[in-house]
Amino acid sequence: MKKIRKYFVVFALLLVTTVSTVAAYNYKFSFDMNTGLFHGSVDSSYAYKVTANDKPVLKIKHIESGARVNFYVVNSNGERRTNVITKKSAYSGAFSNHTTSKGYKYKLRAQTDSGNFYNRYNVTGGWNIDSY
């Protein structure tokens, strides 16, 4: 009986440790965009950065026809402020590189990297300039 109890305690501690290390991001802004013709880019609406150190986060729900799409964050001047995340299907995670600052506005940009020049592809999901 003591052996079972000891295993139960160890299992419970492992479970608590594992659950506490899982990151859950707040995808505050949703997007439903159609990429531009000739691999043109499309932008989401603006979001203001509230925190100083949080990374921008991205959750892709669907990319039409499995086209390869580049996602990145730009400032109000259109300058890229994060690394590029290139995906063909659903994805959830944070941008690893960013040079964003508190109090400024940013938007998510999507641009096709594959597929026909004359097609527009629908992409849906959520994002947030702060990962809180």
Is the CATH number 2.60.120.380 carried by domain 24-128?
Answer: yes
Residues 108 and 73: beta-carbon distance below 8 Å: yes
Instruction: Examine the pLDDT at 55 and tell me if it is beyond 70.
Output: yes
Q: Where are the domains of the chain?
A: 24-128
| pLDDT tens column, 59-76 | 999 999 888 999 999 999
What predicted TM-score, i.e. pTM, was given to this entire model? Answer: 0.80
Distances (CA, A) of 89 to 13, 49, 65, 101, 122: 35, 27, 9, 29, 12
Q: Tokens standing for 116? A: 């026909």
pLDDT value, residue 80: 96
| Residue 96 C-beta-side C-alpha neighbours within 13 Å | 3
For residue 113, name the pLDDT band (cuts at 50, 70, 90): confident
